[in-house]
């Protein structure tokens, strides 16, 4: 298989952790034709991030948001404040969590654990729609 790339624009989300696994899988139907490969998911923004985490209990995203807000409070004396009090903390949170994921592909499916899901971590109160660049590479099924 050759490399494949898809740019995906996600719906606008409020601040918090949002499961986007279905958006990612729907955007790369070529996964179904691979025996082995890698999907690189890259977020094209600096005030949101990506993470893999538990996708079954709805308390998990809320607890992740609470924990991250405790670690990176908006009340620190930030110098970068032109875009609002949530902007610089959003950049710090993105630096902590990261803007990309690399997920293996096996026999036509993403290799996610039983309870794993892909989350968009929206760190701004009034965010814009976020875009992903998905890059897929792998060996075709025989």
pLDDT value for 1: 66
Instruction: Kindly tell me the burial class for residue 11, based on how many C-beta atoms sit within 10 Å of its own C-beta (0-12, 13-18, 19 or more).
Output: exposed
Task: Determine, yes or no, domain membership for 97.
Answer: yes
> Which is higher by pLDDT, 113 or 1?
113
Region 85-99 average pLDDT: 98
Q: Give dist(CA 20, CA 85) in Å, integer.
A: 26
Question: What is the overall mean pLDDT for the chain?
Answer: 97
pTM exceeds 0.85:
yes
CATH number for 41: 2.60.120.460
pLDDT over 90 (residue 2): no
Task: Determine, yes or no, domain membership for 33.
Answer: yes
Task: Determine, yes or no, domain membership for 129.
Answer: yes
The residue range of the domain holding 71 is 4-137
pLDDT value for 90: 98
Task: Determine, yes or no, domain membership for 103.
Answer: yes
Q: Among 135, 61, 142, 80, which Cα is nearest to 108's?
A: 142
Give the number of domains in the chain. 1
Task: Determine, yes or no, domain membership for 30.
Answer: yes
Task: Determine, yes or no, domain membership for 142.
Answer: no
Task: Determine, yes or no, domain membership for 120.
Answer: yes
Q: Give dist(CA 142, CA 33) in Å, integer.
A: 9
Task: Determine, yes or no, domain membership for 10.
Answer: yes
pLDDT value for 122: 98
Q: Give dist(CA 10, CA 25) in Å, integer.
A: 13
Q: Give dist(CA 63, CA 73) in Å, integer.
A: 15
Q: Is 27 left (phi over 0), alpha (psi -120 to 50) or beta?
A: alpha
């Amino acid at each position: 298989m050759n490399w494949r790339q898809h740019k995906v624009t996600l719906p606008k989300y409020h601040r918090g952790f949002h499961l986007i696994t279905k958006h990612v899988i729907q955007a790369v139907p070529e996964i179904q034709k691979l025996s082995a490969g890698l999907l690189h998911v890259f977020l094209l923004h600096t005030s949101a991030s990506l993470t893999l985490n538990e996708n079954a209990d709805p308390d998990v995203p809320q607890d992740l948001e609470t924990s991250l807000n405790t670690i990176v409070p908006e009340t620190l004396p930030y110098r970068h404040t032109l875009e609002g009090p949530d902007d610089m903390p959003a950049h710090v949170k993105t630096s902590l969590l990261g803007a990309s994921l690399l997920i293996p592909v096996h026999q036509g499916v993403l290799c996610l654990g039983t309870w794993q899901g892909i989350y968009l971590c929206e760190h701004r109160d009034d965010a814009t729609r976020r875009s992903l660049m998905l890059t897929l590479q792998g060996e075709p099924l025989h």
